[in-house]
Amino acid sequence: MQYENRIKEIDELKSKIDRHRPLSPHALEQLKEYYRISFTYTSNAVEGNSLTETETKIVIEDGITVGGKPLKDHYEAMGHSEAYSFLYDLAKNREITEDNILKLHHLFYYRIDEDNAGKYRKVNVLITGSSFKPPAASQIPALMKKFINDLPSLRGKYHPVEFSARLHKELVTIHPFVDGNGREARLLMNLALLQTGYVITIIPPVLRNDYINAIKKSQIKPKDDNYFINFISSMVSESMKEYIRLLEGL
pLDDT digits (tens, 9 = 90+) for 124-175: 998 887 888 999 999 999 999 999 999 999 999 999 999 999 999 999 999 9
User: What's the DSSP call for residue 214?
Assistant: H
Which residues contact residue 128 at a Cβ distance below 8 angstroms, ignoring those fewer than 6 apart?
none
User: How many whole angstroms separate alpha carbon 202 and alpha carbon 204?
Assistant: 6
Distance in angstroms between the alpha carbons of the first and the last residue of the chain: 34
- HEC string of 67-129 equals CCCCHHHHHHHHHHHHHHHHHHHHCCCCCCCHHHHHHHHHHHHCCCCCCCCCCCCCCCCCCCC
Q: Is 53 exposed, middle or buried (0-12, 13-18, 19+ CB in 10 A)?
A: middle
Residue range 13-68, pLDDT digits in tens: 999 999 999 999 999 999 999 999 999 999 999 999 999 999 999 999 999 999 99
Q: Is 113 exposed, middle or buried (0-12, 13-18, 19+ CB in 10 A)?
A: middle
CATH superfamily name and code, 7-249: Fido-like domain (1.10.3290.10)
Above pLDDT 70, what percent of the chain? 99
Chain-centroid distance, C-alpha 215: 13
Other CB atoms within 10 A of residue 121 CB: 17
Contact (CB, 8 A) for 169 and 225: yes
User: How many whole angstroms separate alpha carbon 128 and alpha carbon 131?
Assistant: 8
Three-state DSSP state, 219? helix
pLDDT given at position 14: 98
User: How many whole angstroms separate alpha carbon 116 and alpha carbon 109?
Assistant: 8
User: What's the DSSP call for residue 59?
Assistant: I
Residue length of the chain:
250
- Return the higher-pLDDT residue of 59 and 217: 59
User: What's the DSSP call for residue 15?
Assistant: H
**Residue 222: pLDDT band with limits 50, 70, 90:** low
Contact (CB, 8 A) for 66 and 51: yes
Where do the DSSP E strands lie in the chain?
none
Where in the chain are the domains?
7-249
If you average pLDDT over residues 76-91, what whole number do you get? Answer: 98
**Residue 1: pLDDT band with limits 50, 70, 90:** confident
